[in-house]
Amino acid sequence: MEQNNREGDSVADGNFDLPTKKTINFFPPLYRQRYSFVNDLVNRHKPKKVADLGCGNALLIQMIKSHSCLELIVGVDINEDKIGSQRCKLSPFSGDYLSPRDLNLSIILYHGSAVERDSRLRGFDLVTCIELIEHLDSQDLARFPKVVFGYLSPAMVVISTPNSDFNPLFPVVTLRDSDHKFEWNRKQFQTWALGVADFYNYSVEFTGVGEPPEGAGNVGYCTQIGVFRKIGAPETASCAAEQCGEHVYKVVYSVSYPSLQQREVRRLALANEVSRQVQSLRQSYVSGLSAAQSGDRQGPPPTKANRLAAFSGPVFTELEKRNIEKAPKPFCCGGEFCVPLERLLAYPKVNRLCDDADAMRALLEGTVRLSRDGSAVTVDLQDDDGQ
């Protein structure tokens, strides 16, 4: 439903140059301002579960999915072909595997209507309805609050809709989009929203995006927004699912992102970081040996501080540097270079993945070479290039 606006079919998002009135250009584009508003809310309130009703081409989902707090994002739209075409944009990239999230994240796209009840969306932290309600006919508009506020009962609801007070500023407009059934002025929207909030035990605050041009501030924002917050504790999803198991939406797309909560992902991430750190330490050790053997006197002698800088670099705090320096030192045993697990655990990136030597040993088994007693990671002192 929001898609028409995004593609520039809407007067508010397009450019119309008629001699009677000046073109109004929004920067960033109005749809971006709406999504940025939601993105800022997610950043401030840290919801775990978000549902976007009328998600269209899922641009809002693409924008917010990088937030580390999110564990489930759901998109619902009545146009199955449109949402089904967004799979590649929502799939994990290679970087998501190289740098996995701390928490699990699932994204699900459903084919369905915002005025249908589906218990899988009950008890969410945030439900967004961006440029949705103006597409509903009178019967669906009457059902909308019963479903969203009464049945789904999220902790927060964000509703945006055109402000018809702004429409006279456009060159020629009755409704901003051919699919709109109505467009409310500020008083109409606020009267409706306050009635809904009172009936379903929500508070509501009004704001908007799309500043009017200079001298026309009395018309308000181009897009008006209501932010509703549930008064009292919201119903939990588990309780909701037990009370009613209505599943009317059709799953069009579902994907899970790699996270450190998944053992295999954590295992591979740990092995990659340990291998990277061990090779860095080995190269520093070999370089120091070569300099000593050649009698190289260029530059300062390899003091304790120099060695630590080679190992840790400038990115560590003073406390982290002290922890690294206190940890057991790498050593050589025959032709092998050995780095104690306790040393590796002193490095923050490794410690983030695993903070216990026994757990590290179990995770690393089969991915890197361990010493006979399992207390250190070992590699050949000289690599294939003889370095």
**pLDDT tens-place string over residues 41-61:** 999 999 999 999 999 999 999
Share above pLDDT 70 across residues of the chain, in percent, rounded to a whole number = 84
Task: Find the range with the poorest average confidence among 31-35, 103-107, 245-249.
Answer: 245-249
Task: Find the range with the poorest average confidence among 73-77, 186-190, 351-355.
Answer: 351-355
What are the sequence ranges of the domains in the chain?
A: 3-257, 263-380
- HEC readout, 262-312: CHHHHHHHHHHHHHHHHHHHHHHHHHHHHHHHHCCCCCCCCCHHHHHHHHH
| pLDDT tens per residue across span 326-361 | 999 999 988 899 999 999 999 999 999 998 999 999
Q: What pLDDT sits at residue 75? A: 97
**Dist. CA 324–CA 331, nearest whole Å:** 15
Task: Find the range with the poorest average confidence among 3-7, 59-63, 364-368.
Answer: 3-7
**Dist. CA 67–CA 40, nearest whole Å:** 11
Residue 153 pLDDT > 60, yes or no? yes
**Dist. CA 301–CA 280, nearest whole Å:** 20
- Mean pLDDT calculated for residue range 298-323: 61
What φ, ψ does residue 337 adopt, rounded to 5°? -100, 125
Longest dimension (CA), the chain: 88
Q: What pLDDT sits at residue 242? A: 45
Cβ-proximal residues to 44 (8 Å cutoff; 6+ apart), any chain: none
Pairing type for strands 223-230 and 202-209 reads antiparallel
**Dist. CA 41–CA 289, nearest whole Å:** 55
> What is the Rg, in whole angstroms, of the alpha carbon atoms belonging to the chain?
29
Q: In whole angstroms, how far apart are CA 29 and each of 13, 36, 48, 298? A: 7, 11, 28, 58
Residue 264 pLDDT > 90, yes or no? yes
Q: Can you read off the two tokens belonging to residue 124?
A: 């969410």
| pLDDT tens per residue across span 232-246 | 866 655 454 445 578
> Residue 81's pLDDT band (boundaries 50, 70, 90)?
confident
Are 87 and 253 in contact by the 8 Å Cβ rule? The answer is yes
> Residue 292's pLDDT band (boundaries 50, 70, 90)?
confident
Q: What pLDDT sits at residue 19? A: 38
Q: Report DSSP state, residue 115.
A: T
Q: In whole angstroms, how far apart are CA 27 and each of 24, 176, 192, 224? A: 10, 18, 30, 17
Residue 14 pLDDT > 60, yes or no? no
Q: What pLDDT sits at residue 12? A: 60
- Residues pairing with 110 in the sheet: 76, 251
For residue 236, count CB atoms less than 10 angstroms from its CB and return exposed for 0-12, middle for 13-18, buried for 19 or more.
exposed
Average pLDDT, the chain: 87
**∠ at Cα 6 (145, 186), nearest 5°?**
45
Residue 143 pLDDT > 90, yes or no? yes
Q: In whole angstroms, how far apart are CA 228 and each of 41, 84, 148, 194, 222? A: 12, 30, 11, 9, 20
Q: What pLDDT sits at residue 385? A: 52
- Mean pLDDT calculated for residue range 171-190: 91
- Mean pLDDT calculated for residue range 355-374: 93
Q: What pLDDT sits at residue 295? A: 66
> Residue 22's pLDDT band (boundaries 50, 70, 90)?
low
Tell me if residue 37 falls in helix, strand or coil.
Answer: helix
Write down the pTM of the prediction: 0.81
**Dist. CA 24–CA 31, nearest whole Å:** 14
> Residue 194's pLDDT band (boundaries 50, 70, 90)?
very high
Cβ-proximal residues to 29 (8 Å cutoff; 6+ apart), any chain: 13
> Residue 83's pLDDT band (boundaries 50, 70, 90)?
confident
- Residues pairing with 370 in the sheet: 377
**Dist. CA 38–CA 28, nearest whole Å:** 15
**Dist. CA 59–CA 35, nearest whole Å:** 8
- Mean pLDDT calculated for residue range 92-106: 91
87, containing H or E segment: helix 87-90
- Mean pLDDT calculated for residue range 117-135: 97
CATH classification for the domain delimited by 3-257, as one of 3.40.50.150, 3.40.50.170, 3.40.50.620, 3.40.50.300: 3.40.50.150
Q: Report DSSP state, residue 8.
A: T
In Å, how far from its chain's centre is CA 152? 22
